Structure 1
Amino acid sequence: MPAKSKAQQKAAGAALAAKRGDIKKSELKGASKGMEKSMSEGELKEMASTKRKGKPEHKSKSE
């Protein structure tokens, strides 16, 4: 599933880095911590690789 906002894409990228061992899991905060636990590496890669153009900084609460 593609990211719906820039913030979601960044969180997925951080979670992917932790899952791959590039950064420590203890360094994760907020949404990226949950994403790392609940999503596969493939799902995180797909979300993190979403194009940023046209994405809002944060997803609105109504979506």
Structure 2
Amino acid sequence: MPALSQAQQKAAGAALAAKRGEAPTSSLKGASLEMYKVMTEKELEELASTDTARRNLPEHKT
């Protein structure tokens, strides 16, 4: 499932970093914290590494 916005992609990347132990969990808030809690590492990888170039994604989904 690809990210639908830059914000979603950034949140997934932050959650993925925490899931891998590269960032502290305490640095997460909002959507990234929720993603960290409910998604697997594989799901986060798919969401964070969307095929569409990031510049082609809207900042926020409307």
TM-score relative to the length of structure 2: 0.92
Shift of 1:53: 3.5
**Aligned residue number for residue 9 of structure 1:** 9
Structure 1: gaps of 5 or more residues: none
CA distance in 2, matches of 1:3, 1:26: 24
Give the RMSD, CA atoms, in angstroms. Answer: 0.8
Q: Which of the residues 43, 52, 55 maps onto 2:54?
A: 52
Percent identity over the alignment?
67
Shift of 1:29: 1.2
Letter in 2 for 1:23: A
Task: Encode CA deviations 1:6-33: one digit per residue, 9 max, x unaligned.
Answer: 0000000000000000011111011000
Structure 2: gaps of 5 or more residues: none
Task: Tell me the number of residue pairs that the alignment of Structure 1 and Structure 2 aligns.
Answer: 60
Letter in 1 for 2:57: K
